[in-house]
């Protein structure tokens, strides 16, 4: 159990960040989730069923792989990869989607509802819904429905209903509003499933708990393989769930340096990035106090990353707190460094990483050569890159010409 200073208090505050900053119509539905989760997490039957599905359905434990070729190429610390890409559905998101689906069932709900941008959360949630026998409704901006066609097809094949939102900018922001409006009106039937360690209490703590299996496994696996803890951990940070999942079990190990990697996109000078920790300021977003990229009026800024799963103008409140405490160091890599890392890992190890995960690999490629060959770095390979191959091939060809 990590030191209490790293945890939320009873009101969901990590230091000054977090909480449940909600419009009146959401107070009661979210309080119901808070109370149900507080009970469920103490119930060995509930946690036992969750852990059973992680083994039998997701395929856990995921490998901790010693990337010997990459290590030799970088010439420094030994690099290990935590292979969340090998999970069923190809990424870490299934870990918390299954937990949320089981909690919804326990609460007597019949439907899962969520918004999705690029569709990765929607697909993982639709998968969990199919397995647990729940209905699933995914709200998506009409522009994203057109752009992310393969994921829309996947969600529908899995039995989910995809609602194309035609309001306003027809993008993620409108999809969030639309999903919350439906939820508030019918929360006796619906469970709102958030896709990262963001949103109002209890979601940042609950999603972290469901993802913390990553770090618990990695810690045991590295002790088994090397007889010691790593010198550093590296994970990409969008909302921050794969990162919190890896970091949580190591927070008390002060000798382990921890790095969260954000997208610097096309550079930190303009607006074409999503480097929330580097350039954001304290604010309120999606029901939580956290660090936000925002304008003077407190409106979230438009963001960009080559990895659609990382383009979020906020970050989970526990990350904001860990930054304030100085326990985690937040760094950024840009789109070009990310593309290089994508190619490097594909060619040296025969592993095609997601563009999100490629941010963690890119920083690992900078960090490992600065350390000695006795040192160890664990990077979280949050997902596989099959979804990105056409896009990356185009970008690499454009770069060559």
Ligand X SMILES: *Cc1c(COP(=O)(O)O)cnc(C)c1O
CB atoms within 10 A of CB 399: 10
CB-wise, 33 or 207, nearer to ligand X?
207
Q: Is 283 exposed, middle or buried (0-12, 13-18, 19+ CB in 10 A)?
A: middle
Alpha-carbon gap, residue 158 to 13, rounded angstroms:
36
Residue 95 interacts with ligand X (CB under 6 A): yes or no: no
Least gap, CB of 390 to ligand X (angstroms): 17
Residue 239 interacts with ligand X (CB under 6 A): yes or no: yes
Alpha-carbon gap, residue 51 to 58, rounded angstroms:
10
Single out the residue of 251, 376, 383, 395 in contact with ligand X (rule: CB under 6 A): 383
CA 133 to chain centre: 24
Least gap, CB of 385 to ligand X (angstroms): 9
In this structure, is the dihedral angle defined by the CA atoms of residues 201, 359, 124 and 23, taken in order, positive or negative? positive
Residue 30 interacts with ligand X (CB under 6 A): yes or no: no
Residue 309 interacts with ligand X (CB under 6 A): yes or no: yes
Phi/psi of residue 134, nearest 5 degrees? -105, 155
Give the contact letters, 209-228, x = binds to ligand X (CB under 6 A), - = no.
--------------------
Footprint on residues 343-362 left by ligand X (CB under 6 A): 354, 356-357
**Which residue's Cβ has the minimum distance to ligand X?**
383
Applying CB under 6 A, which part among 104-112, 135-143, 185-193, 239-247 lies near ligand X?
Answer: 239-247
Applying CB under 6 A, which part among 33-41, 175-183, 240-248, 275-283 lies near ligand X?
Answer: 240-248
Least gap, CB of 309 to ligand X (angstroms): 3
Give the contact letters, 177-196, x = binds to ligand X (CB under 6 A), - = no.
-------------------x
Residue 241 interacts with ligand X (CB under 6 A): yes or no: yes
Nearest to 315, CA basis, from 326, 303, 327:
303
CB-wise, 62 or 120, nearer to ligand X?
120
Single out the residue of 237, 264, 303, 333 in contact with ligand X (rule: CB under 6 A): 237
Q: Is 67 exposed, middle or buried (0-12, 13-18, 19+ CB in 10 A)?
A: buried
CB-wise, 165 or 237, nearer to ligand X?
237
CB-wise, 301 or 375, nearer to ligand X?
301
Footprint on residues 312-341 left by ligand X (CB under 6 A): none
Residue 98 interacts with ligand X (CB under 6 A): yes or no: no
Least gap, CB of 245 to ligand X (angstroms): 8
Least gap, CB of 45 to ligand X (angstroms): 28
Residue 294 interacts with ligand X (CB under 6 A): yes or no: no
Least gap, CB of 87 to ligand X (angstroms): 10
CB-wise, 60 or 78, nearer to ligand X?
60
- Are 5 and 321 in contact by the 8 Å Cβ rule? The answer is no
Least gap, CB of 47 to ligand X (angstroms): 22
Residue 204 interacts with ligand X (CB under 6 A): yes or no: no
Torsion over CA of 210, 132, 62 and 338, rounded to 10 degrees? Answer: -70
Distances (CA, A) of 353 to 91, 211, 357, 376: 10, 19, 6, 20
Alpha-carbon gap, residue 155 to 112, rounded angstroms:
13
CB-wise, 78 or 119, nearer to ligand X?
119
Q: Which residues are catalytic?
A: 93, 115, 382
CB-wise, 140 or 371, nearer to ligand X?
140
Footprint on residues 112-141 left by ligand X (CB under 6 A): 120
Applying CB under 6 A, which part among 3-11, 21-29, 64-72, 233-241 lies near ligand X?
Answer: 233-241
Instruction: Give contact residues for ligand X (rule: CB under 6 A).
Output: 91, 93, 120, 196, 236-243, 309-310, 354, 356-357, 382-383
């Amino acid at each position: 159990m990590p030191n209490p200073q790293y945890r939320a208090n009873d009101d969901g505050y990590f230091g000054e960040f977090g909480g449940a900053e909600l419009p009146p119509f959401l107070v009661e539905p979210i309080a119901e989730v808070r109370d149900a989760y507080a009970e469920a997490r103490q119930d060995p039957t509930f946690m036992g069923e969750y852990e059973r599905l992680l083994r039998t359905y997701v395929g856990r434990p995921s490998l901790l792989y010693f990337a010997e070729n990459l290590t030799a190429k970088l010439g420094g610390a030994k690099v290990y990869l935590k292979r969340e890409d090998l999970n069923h559905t190809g990424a870490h998101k299934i870990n918390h989607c299954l937990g949320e689906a089981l909690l919804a069932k326990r609460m007597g709900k019949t439907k899962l509802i969520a918004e999705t941008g690029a569709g990765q959360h929607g697909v993982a949630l639709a998968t969990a819904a199919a397995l647990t026998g729940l209905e699933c409704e995914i709200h998506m901006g009409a522009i994203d429905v057109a752009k992310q066609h393969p994921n829309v097809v996947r969600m529908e094949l899995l039995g989910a209903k995809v609602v194309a939102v035609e309001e306003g900018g027809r993008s993620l922001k409108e999809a969030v509003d639309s999903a919350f409006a439906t939820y508030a009106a019918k929360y006796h039937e619906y469970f709102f499933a958030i896709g990262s360690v963001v949103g109002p209490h209890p979601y940042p703590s609950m999603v972290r708990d469901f993802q913390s299996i990553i770090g618990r496994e990695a810690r045991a696996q590295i002790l088994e393989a090397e007889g010691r803890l790593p010198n550093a951990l590296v994970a990409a940070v969008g909302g921050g769930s794969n990162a919190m999942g890896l970091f949580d079990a190591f927070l008390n190990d002060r000798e382990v340096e921890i790095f969260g990697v954000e997208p610097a996109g096309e550079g930190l000078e303009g607006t074409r990035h999503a480097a929330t920790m580097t350039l954001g300021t304290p604010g309120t977003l999606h029901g939580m106090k956290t660090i936000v990229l925002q304008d003077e009026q407190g409106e979230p800024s438009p963001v960009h990353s080559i990895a659609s799963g990382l383009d979020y103008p906020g970050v989970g409140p526990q990350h904001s707190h860990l930054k304030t405490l100085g326990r985690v160091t937040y760094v950024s890599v840009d789109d070009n460094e990310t593309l290089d890392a994508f190619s490097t890992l594909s060619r040296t190890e025969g592993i095609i990483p997601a563009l999100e995960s490629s941010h963690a690999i890119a920083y690992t490629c900078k960090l490992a050569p600065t350390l000695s060959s006795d040192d160890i770095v664990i990077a979280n390979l949050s997902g596989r890159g099959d979804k990105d191959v056409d896009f990356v091939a185009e970008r690499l060809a454009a770069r060559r010409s």
